Amino acid sequence: MSQISSSPSIPVRNLLPWSAAVPVLLIVAYLVTMDSAGLLASSGDFLHELMHDGRHLLGVPCH
């Protein structure tokens, strides 16, 4: 095995702080792919319509 193959695992306690990034990323994902229910209805209509084609092609339910 070459050196790059010996990959030690990262302790969970080092990973935990980074789990805070997950909800932030998921909110962005929600705004891009979902929001058909219109959580941002008033301000979100523009973004919703703007990313319409992307949502269809990403394969998520659109309308």
Partner 1 sequence: MIKDFFLRGLGAGAVAGLLAGLFGFLVGEPFIDQAIAIEEAAAGAGHSHADELVSRGGQAFGLFLATTLYGLVIGGLFALAYAFVKGRFGPANEQTLAVTLAAGGYLAIVLVPFLKYPGNPPAVGDPETIGQRTVLYVVMLVIGLLALGAGAVIHRRFGWVAAVPAFLVIVGVAYAVLPAIQEVPQEFPAVLLWNFRVSSLGMQAVLWGVLGSVFALLSARRPVRV
Cβ at position 40, least distance to partner 1 in Å: 13
> Would you say 40 or 51 has its CB closer to partner 1?
51
The per-residue b/e assignment along 9-28, b for 16 or more CB within 10 angstroms, e otherwise, is: eeeeeeeeeeeeeeeeeeee
How is residue 23 written in tokens? Answer: 């909800």
* Binding residues among 1-60 for partner 1 as defined by CB under 8 A: 1, 4-10, 12, 14-15, 18-19, 21-22, 25-26, 28-29, 31-34, 36-37, 45-46, 49-60
Angle formed at CA 48 by CA 42 and CA 50, multiple of 5 degrees: 120
How is residue 57 written in tokens? Answer: 């092609």
The footprint of partner 1 (CB under 8 A) covers 1, 4-10, 12, 14-15, 18-19, 21-22, 25-26, 28-29, 31-34, 36-37, 45-46, 49-63
